Amino acid sequence: MIKSGRESAYTDQPLDLQGIALWQAGMDGAVIHSNSVWQDLVAFEDTKGPSWSWADALHPDDQEQGKAAWQKAVASESGFRAELRLFRPDGSAPWALFLGNPHPRRNGGPVVYTCLVIDIDTAKQREVVLGEACEGLRAEACAAKTALASIGHELAAPLNGVIGLAELVLADNRDKNIQAQVQLIADAGQTMKGFLERVSSTRGVASLN
């Protein structure tokens, strides 16, 4: 466990929870306690020392966001939560979830935050893969809608011809058997026409999904 000379001003929280990265920091963000899991996570031996700020371990692109979230929490002495990327000496940038809470003042001393750090890199990678898969499915669905609409337009003209011809036969022919058969053709044509009209519209295609 790393400790600094300022530790007497803070609550002495146990930081030996096995497998869980933890650190304690003052309101200025300077780390005053940390456990070996956190040190291993950020390759502690390559950092500035025991009094460095926890935000120094963040990826440069995430430092501004992390510091802003920290300052907001500290200003109201409320809980701290952020999903941020770390930046390790080997160039890797694993995602981590930071969950911190302030502790009451001790003997009039300043507030100290204890923060739990959870490795969520695998979950983030899966989230990216899932997002890409969803985008692919949306693209395929859009292509399918376009194809269906095109087919609907191409079939509309000949179908209207069939319906029109059936109506002419019904008007001119008095044979009941023929009329019954032609009426079936006309009814089926109207049903198909309604279906194609729904397919040809954006709302109609969406309703088929």
Domain of residue 42, CATH code = 3.30.450.20
Distance CA 86, CA 43 (A): 10
Residues 156 and 102 in one domain: no
Mean per-residue pLDDT over the chain, rounded: 76
Residues 9 and 85 in one domain: yes
How many domains are contained in the chain? Answer: 2
Residues 65 and 97 in one domain: yes
Q: Please give the model's pTM, rounded to 2 decimal places.
A: 0.55
Asked whether 187 and 166 are in contact (CB, 8 A), the reply is no
Residues 147 and 172 in one domain: yes
Distance CA 159, CA 153 (A): 10
Assess if residue 79 is contained within a domain: yes
Q: Residue 157's domain spans which residues?
A: 128-202
Residues 149 and 82 in one domain: no
Assess if residue 170 is contained within a domain: yes
Residues 112 and 14 in one domain: yes
Assess if residue 209 is contained within a domain: no
Residues in the chain: 209
Residues 161 and 110 in one domain: no
Considering all CA atoms of the chain, what is the largest pairwise distance in Å, rounded to the nearest integer?
A: 108
Q: Which of 93, 119, 145 is the last residue of a domain?
A: 119
Assess if residue 207 is contained within a domain: no
Comparing 183 with 60, which gets the higher pLDDT? 60
Residues 20 and 88 in one domain: yes
Residues 70 and 147 in one domain: no
Distance CA 151, CA 141 (A): 15
Residues 150 and 105 in one domain: no
At 118, is the pLDDT very low, low, confident or very high (cuts 50, 70, 90)?
confident
Model confidence over 26-35: pLDDT tens digits?
999 998 888 8
Looking at residue 46, its pLDDT comes to 44
Q: Which of 119, 140, 174 is the last residue of a domain?
A: 119
Looking at residue 66, its pLDDT comes to 94
